[in-house]
Amino acid sequence: MAITIIDIAKMCGVGVTTVSRAINNHPDINEETKAMIMQVIKENHYVPNNSARNLKRAASKTIAVLIKGITNAFFNRMIQVFEKEIQTKKYSFILQRVDENQDEIEVAIELVKEKRLKGIVFLGGNFLHPKEKLDQLTVPFVLSTIGMTEEFDPDEYSYVAVDDYKESYKMVDYLCGLGHKQIAIITAPMDDVSIGKLRYEGYKKALEDHGVELNDRLVLCMKEDIESYSMENGYVVTKELLQSEEEFTAIYAVSDSMAIGACKALVEGGKRVPEDYSVAGFDGVDISFYYNPSITTIRQPVEEIAEETIRILFDMIHKKVTHAHKIFPAELIVRESTRLLT
Amino acid sequence: MAITIIDIAKMCGVGVTTVSRAINNHPDINEETKAMIMQVIKENHYVPNNSARNLKRAASKTIAVLIKGITNAFFNRMIQVFEKEIQTKKYSFILQRVDENQDEIEVAIELVKEKRLKGIVFLGGNFLHPKEKLDQLTVPFVLSTIGMTEEFDPDEYSYVAVDDYKESYKMVDYLCGLGHKQIAIITAPMDDVSIGKLRYEGYKKALEDHGVELNDRLVLCMKEDIESYSMENGYVVTKELLQSEEEFTAIYAVSDSMAIGACKALVEGGKRVPEDYSVAGFDGVDISFYYNPSITTIRQPVEEIAEETIRILFDMIHKKVTHAHKIFPAELIVRESTRLLT
DNA sequence: TTGTAGGCGTTATCAT
DNA sequence: ATGATAACGCCTACAA
């Protein structure tokens, strides 16, 4: 049906090997025959079949980035950096989205076989997998911006991220320093084990250190049936808070998007930010700057994280290291959405 | 090296065919042997090699969505719908990002061979390709939310989108009706041939119909070196407008993101929206609702567009039609960012 | 119900 | 510099 390398070989009156050499820029080939072959290929729109290639090839210089869930602004920037860095290393780059309820390891294992991957980057999610399963993953991989809970054995994993616990503490500490004592938090449901949990723990500790007692009614959890960490989630949850008539002076949302949803709910309720309520976010995505008022947030050093991720991955590929880790500091950016309580 | 179907067959003391039958849920197989085989497969973590499968398989029930450029909020929602609809049809779904400076047709052709695709959806971009090239694309495809300029021959393409020209006209007509005469537009550079151009044409026509003369200095083009249609682009361009001291009363940005960037620039310049300047966007993405002030925009019926795209694609796959087109009406949503000029 | 063998399109190993 | 041929791992007639 479709045209193959054999057809091209026949048309050119050469062997398939020669055609293959032409395609793959092998050295052992006469420049003229090569040019001739390429010409015929062009004229006949021959396109090599990747499946056949992958099947035969022992290895290919490609690395895959698996991204869990919906692509968001935060990941978009990282992906750009990944792509650039990987291309610089003369590798090719596959971006694979893995569904929320899909097992990223399964996908990874399959992909390694199919594409003969050299390495993998896992982006987002919580990444809880039995060791037995991970052992099937025969290529180096790095966890990037995945919440690092205690369970993570540094000898088993390579990762680069920020210290969600510490950075979250930093934000709440700042809020307390502003005089806030009734600080609502919007975070993941309590069964979460990833960044949601870590950031919540940071919140708890900061309150404790400032001698303010935790008020359960100010601990707000995202709705499971709404996209997680989304503006809508922050919006809905804040509406409920307002209705509950529980008193508070600040809202700390565990993502910028939710912080924006919170602002919207507040404004719709006739409140002003920051005059009536302070609002803070986390991540430092673009919109936190563009929003009105601009959102006080914790900015993750996205570019650095992405670059370091690739650096570590290639170190592993080249056997320079077996595992490596890097925790980047994040930056508290004070903007218009928070104010000193007087 | 890796474990194959032959290994499994040996371990089970059966032929490869039987193993293959077990894997692929073929009917002609004893339930017990099947169970036994599956057990061995599980124990040994055998994962079939997709390349080999695709190579052999004549056809596979999979359709691919190619998305040009960066994933944005607008596409995210559509992708969700695509995935749902495609799964309902018992097809599998591949999401392939294609780089800004990559040829989507090339990618598509390769993918068809590699994955034995049944159909393709092209999302975004301008899609200008010589007919000769398109003829190599041997499977049905639908263009979704791609600017439909005059060059598009309805007999050659299937597409579903909104009428960018008309909807853009609608917005500017509305702005004029509010009494605005000096309406700046932020759009694509003049060499653009896609939605940027169409929306700009709608703007021109609306001005003309309202008897207001086009002021070149109010036609603002996105910067090529900044991500297109982004908040940053709207922000930078608006800053320049402010500095030029050209008079205007409204800004119409050809995307919601740019409208938000414009708002930010205005606010930073000490102006109020909409008291001092009205601002309008296009697309109707979430953030246009959540922004403060909420943004007057043209809402594209994303879900319907996505659903219709899939419907048409499957009609083509099933040979019910050779080509089909659908233009959806979009909705003018009046919100807080625009006001009557008095 | 089960097994054997040929072929999918390429690349790599040898010869030549 | 070039070509024949054997894999790569799987599926599917066809045979048993």
pLDDT at position B147 = 86
Task: Please provide the size of chain A in residues.
Answer: 342
List beta partners, residue A93: A63
Q: Quick one: DSSP state of residue A333?
A: E
B186/B206 Cα distance (integer angstroms):
15
| pLDDT confidence of residue A310 | 97
- Helix (H), strand (E) at residue B216: none
Q: Which residue is nearest to nucleotide C7 (CA to C1')?
A: B56
Q: How long is the CA A59 to C1' C15 vector, in angstroms?
A: 25
Chain B residue numbers touching A105 (CB-CB < 8 A): none
pLDDT at A182: 97
CATH class of A164-300: alpha beta
Contact at CB, B264 and A51, closer than 8 angstroms: no
| pLDDT given at position A1 | 62
Tell me which chain B residues have a C-beta less than 8 angstroms from the C-beta of A71.
71, 76
pLDDT attached to residue B152: 79
Domain extents in chain A: 1-48, 164-300
Instruction: Kindly state the tokens that stand for B231.
Output: 């908040």
Burial B159-197 (b: 16+ CB within 10 A, else e): bbbbbbbebbbbbbbbbbebebbebbbbbbeeebebbbb
Residues of chain A with Cβ-Cβ distance to B292 below 8 Å are 263-264, 267, 291-293
pLDDT digits 0-9 by tens, A71-109: 788 898 999 999 999 999 999 999 999 988 889 999 999
The CA–C1' separation of B327 and D8, in angstroms, is: 48
Give CA separation, A236 vs A228, A250, A271, B265, in Å: 12, 16, 16, 29
B51 CA: nearest nucleotide by C1'? D9
- Has residue A124 got a pLDDT over 90? no
Side chain identity, residue A24: N
Binary contact (A97, B99; C-beta < 8 A)? no
* pLDDT value at residue A69: 81
Q: Which CATH class is domain A1-48?
A: mainly alpha
Average pLDDT, consecutive stretches of 10 residues, N- to C-terminus, chain B (342 residues): 86 90 87 89 90 87 90 88 93 90 91 92 89 88 90 86 97 98 97 91 98 97 95 98 97 98 98 97 97 98 97 95 95 98 88
Q: For A13-71, write each residue's pLDDT tens digit.
A: 998 999 999 999 888 888 889 999 999 999 999 999 999 999 988 788 999 999 988 77
Distance CA B265, CA B240 (A): 9
- Specify the pLDDT at position A272: 97
Confidence bin at A198 (pLDDT 50/70/90): very high
Q: What are phi and psi of B324, to 5 degrees?
A: -155, 155
Q: Are B143 and B122 in contact (CB under 8 A)?
A: yes
pTM, 2 dp:
0.94
pLDDT of residue B272: 97
CA B67 → CA A87, A259, B103, B197, B324, distances in Å? 20, 29, 11, 20, 21
